[in-house]
Structure 1
Amino acid sequence: MAPTLSSADAEKISTLKSDVATLDQISENEKSGFINLVARYLSGEAQHIEWSKIQTPTDEVVVPYDTLAPVPEDAAETKKLLDKLVVLKLNGGLGTTMGCTGPKSVIEVRNGLTFLDLIVIQIETLNAKYGCNVPLLLMNSFNTHDDTLKIVEKYANSKIDIHTFNQSQYPRLVVEDFKPLSSKGNTTKEAWYPPGHGDVFPAFKNSGKLDALLSQGKEYVFVANSDNLGAVVDLKILSHLITNKNEYCMEVTPKTLADVKGGTLISYEGKVQLLEIAQVADEHVNEFKSIEKFKIFNTNNLWVNLQAINRLVEGDALKMEIIPNPKEVDGIKVLQLETAAGAAIRFFDHAIGINVPRSRFLPVKASSDLLLVQSDLYTLSDGFVTRNPARANPANPSIELGPEFKKVASFLSRFKSIPSIIDLDSLKVTGDVWFGASITLKGKVTITAKPGVKLEIPDGAVIADKEINGPEDI
């Protein structure tokens, strides 16, 4: 159904079409995808959620992980399962928030290995163990494409097929007159944006990769963020989806106070769907954030049937909620319209959530997360980052590092070695603090350097339940 537009908005779209037609940087598919998105946005077809109709999903809709059937022991059966699978990592993000210039996936996580190295090692291990051929796809953005191609060259001799494709490139819209920023003489990358990971489905199809994989007999794709170290292939989930013919599965996990803004799954008018904080009216926001009513949140680990993606993209049926993202470029107010892959859940048949253990959600968004995964809380084997069973507390310690630690390079330079944090509950570091080697932190630790003072924690220090404001407190 075409969106209904007022005559003024229809005029805007008509002018925009002419403007976009002249942009030779992007394909016809990208042009029409962009125009469609803008038309949907202008028609105001936002989907309004009636709060009273929201229901908590049952265990049939959000399946508890521990009720999944065990995977058959037979290696030949496992190989058959894995030969139906493709792994797709969302690799469009730059590591700018962590002070890096290239793709975030090339930040070193542990033992000199990057996110991408770990992903490749994991899949190689699976392929070697079962004699299967699980390919790896990387969806890049125009920001990460060139760098990723160079990086992928180093895996040329690995036992794994690696494919890359780009998500769409859309022009940023000037708010004032709804013209593409690129047609205003801005020829830099700043004039463009990648329209969110909801674009994974059309971009996958438009790249030709989807058709190629279908012709090889592949059936499911496991989609995850490249910076989520917990997002590894899970045979129990794959087996469950194939057995039950589920076209879409979102992994959710129990919400903690750190995740209150994360999207959650609800049952609504007989369908399962994702509810994001942006869709919630102000008067219900506190209820949305409560851990009592909405106990789970979306990890963005998604399992999707390839035939279903093909059917829905061809039928132009994936109308995910539009997320308007206002920005400013050189003092000009611009708008970028995005969609999220999780919101597609309501368009697939027999879609479910699976309530997975927290270990499947281990994202590295900041240097405080890097501290966790580089510490003795985790071990690394065959590319898999596994939590140390010696830690009694099921929750990770909460870590707050000051702005001095924000960039990866400065974070690494401030630790001679990463402290032992097996028994740490919380750590807060403020100011110009430097850590020596073989330090142990336990309980609740606060370290504050006074303004203008360099505070060095000596080698071998053991700090338990202490507040440190100067060398005399150590």
Structure 2
Amino acid sequence: MEKFEEKMKAAGLSEAAIGAFRLNYEQLVAGVTGLMPEKDIEAVSELPHLKDLEASDQGNLKSLLEQTAVLKLNGGLGTSMGLEKAKSLLPVKDGKTFLDLIAEQVVYTREKFGSKVRFILMNSFSTSEDTKAYLSKSHGELIREEDAELLQNKSPKVDAATMQPISWPKDPSQEWCPPGHGDIYPSLLGSGMLERLSKAGIKYLFVSNSDNLGATLDVSLLSYFAQSDKAFIMEVAERTAADKKGGHLCRRLSDGRFMLRESAMCTDDDKASFEDISKHKFFNTNNLWVNLPKLKAKLEASNGVLKLPLIKNKKTVNPRDSSSPPVFQLETAMGSAIECFDDPGAVVVPRERFAPVKTTNDLFGLRSDAYKVTEAHTVVLAAPKGPLVKLDDKHYKLVDKMDALTDAVPSLIHATSLTVKGPVRFQAGTSFTGDVLVTNESSEPQALPPKAYKDSIVNLTPAAVPA
């Protein structure tokens, strides 16, 4: 550990960041499996629902909002979608980016309630420069505010062969990796922001991902959180068949604490129980509410480190070169902190509060008329149900490829599903209703004639040229 500590100190990382890495490294060396058998947990069956909560009166809300900060996790580059800058800089609706809409939501809340709720972006070293440059032009008043940016730490990659810090002179930046969003806690502590927010009277922190436009500051939830006096509340949604492989909320029998159980924490024998959505009903939306004074007290009582479960990712030092040396990237998840507190809670929220954009399928649907922007600058469904979009990965997985094939996003407000196989070019004046499949078996893009399509299969494959 000494070599890791030296390397992290030389890079200017805080004692809190080093302490968090030390805990992860100790778990790695000890061979901690993190397995949580079905027999050691019990399912969570009953939780309060957001629809049953009521907001406080307007005067109290103003006071609560003055004690609240909204923190958006903005460290992701969206590399799986072919991006090399912050995913939040992608245009999503009416030419506006995620960041535009998030900033406008904050401004709207301030104006509506006459209260200056704090705004914080947690950037990584990869997203900080681009994000601040963009906001300086479009929402300069926000990014220039005190503590508008929290900078994520970085973690040294571990050489899988020697368990020492990896050395990669070809590109020293490859020796480091993001520590996962569980890094929010050591970042708040090590940067001094936790102390500054506390001194400024900020008591409540709402945290969510910047690519989830459904995660807005809900005043009913804020009121409930304040009244509950809990240290930590997780927003959960009801699992569907599409969520069965994702993690779920449960209680550990040994101490009765809430915990997040991921698929990697299960043996093969427990797989069926893990995927039983009628038993394990709720998943983490990654929308979290944190009581800052209680977080501060917990960190002080645990030598500045929350004991979060380790996420061990085995990769190569150069992720684009499979022949480069194997490494371990040590990460943690911020939602797993639910097991660190004596008095956490969870609230069931509607699916609309969990609408992340992880793929171009998500982005294509979001850009369509199936979604609309409200007066409060939130994005909500305009259709009875969000359409299921499945675009051919070979031609649409990367944003620039999808954009090149989309002259105009078709109308999806009446669509149930849209499946596209092969390269298909979309033009203005196209609409879909019900279930539509469009295919093109050739390698050359084919334009879909602009008209209304309803419950149909459209084959655009050119006729074979006679020999």
Could you report, residue by residue, the CA deviation over 1:310-336 in whole angstroms, capped at 9, with x for unpaired residues? 122222451111010111124111110
Number of the residue aligned with 2:308: 320
Within 5 Å, give how 1:282-297 maps onto structure 2.
282-297=268-283
Shift of 1:27: 4.2
TM-score (norm 2): 0.91
Task: From the superposition, tell whether residues 65 and 375 of structure 1 become closer, same or farther in structure 2 (CA, over 3 Å).
Answer: same
Pairwise mapping of residues 169-180 of structure 1 onto structure 2 (< 5 A)? Answer: 169-180=154-165
Partner in structure 1 of residue 380 of structure 2: 386
Q: What stretches of structure 1 of length at least 5 have no aligned partner?
A: 1-12
**2:238 paired residue number:** 254
Structure-to-structure mapping, 1:72-471, within 5 angstroms: 72=56, 74-154=57-137, 155-157=139-141, 161=145, 163-182=148-167, 184-269=168-253, 270-314=256-300, 315-316=302-303, 318-328=306-316, 329=318, 330=321, 331-381=324-374, 382-388=376-382, 391-392=383-384, 394=385, 396-459=387-450, 461-470=451-460
Distance 2:9 2:354 in 1: 43
> Which of structures 1 and 2 has the larger relative contact order (alpha carbons within 8 angstroms, sep 6+)?
2
Distance, in Å, in 1 between the alignment partners of 2:445 and 2:171 is 44
Query: How far apart in 2 are the matches of 1:127 and 1:353?
Result: 26
| Contact kept in structure 1, 2:436 and 2:454, CA below 8 Å | yes
* Closer/same/farther in 2, CA of residues 303 and 396 from structure 1, 3 Å limit: farther
In the superposition, the TM-score normalised over structure 1's length comes to: 0.90
RMSD: 2.2
Cα deviation for residue 47 of structure 1 reads 4.1
1:35 counterpart letter in structure 2 = R
Shift of 1:275: 1.0
Give the distance between the partners of 1:230 and 1:114, measured in 2 at CA. 14
Letter in 1 for 2:243: D
Paired residue total: 451
Write out per-residue CA displacement over residues 187-237 of structure 1, whole angstroms, 9 at most, x where no aligned residue: 432111111001111111111111111111111101101100100001111
Quote the Cα distance in structure 1 between the aligned partners of 2:155 and 2:278: 40
Q: Secondary structure of the residue that 1:417 maps to in structure 2?
A: coil
How big is the shift at 1:29?
4.1
Paired amino acid for 1:385: V
Give, in angstroms, the shift of residue 172 of structure 1. Answer: 0.8
* Partner in structure 2 of residue 3 of structure 1: none
Contact 2:119 2:142 survives alignment (8 Å): no
Q: Equivalents in 2 of 1:232, 1:21: separation in Å?
A: 35
**Equivalent position of 1:9 in the other structure:** none
- Give the CA deviation at 1:375: 0.9
Checking the alignment, whether the CA contact within 8 Å between 1:456 and 1:471 is kept in structure 2 is no
Q: Which stretch shows the higher mean deviation, 164-173 or 40-49?
A: 40-49
Mapped contact 2:4–2:156 kept (Cα < 8 A):
no
The alpha-carbon distance between structure 1 residues 47 and 405, as it changes in their structure 2 partners (threshold 3 A), is: closer
What is the rounded CA distance, in whole Å, between the counterparts of 2:201 and 2:314 in structure 1?
Answer: 42
- Cα distance between partner residues in 2 of 1:369 and 1:108: 13
Provide the rounded CA distance (Å) in 2 between the counterparts of 1:230 and 1:456: 33
What is the CA–CA distance in structure 2 between the aligned matches of 1:472 and 1:21, rounded to whole Å? 59
Matched-pair identity in %: 34
Distance 1:25 1:186, change over 3 A: farther
CA distance in 2 between counterparts of 1:405 and 1:395 reads 19
**Structure 1 residues 456 and 398 mapped into 2: Cα distance closer, same or farther (>3 Å)?**
closer
Deviation at 1:186, TM superposition (A): 4.6
Once residues 408 and 313 of structure 1 are traced to their aligned partners in structure 2, the CA distance between those partners, rounded to angstroms, is 41
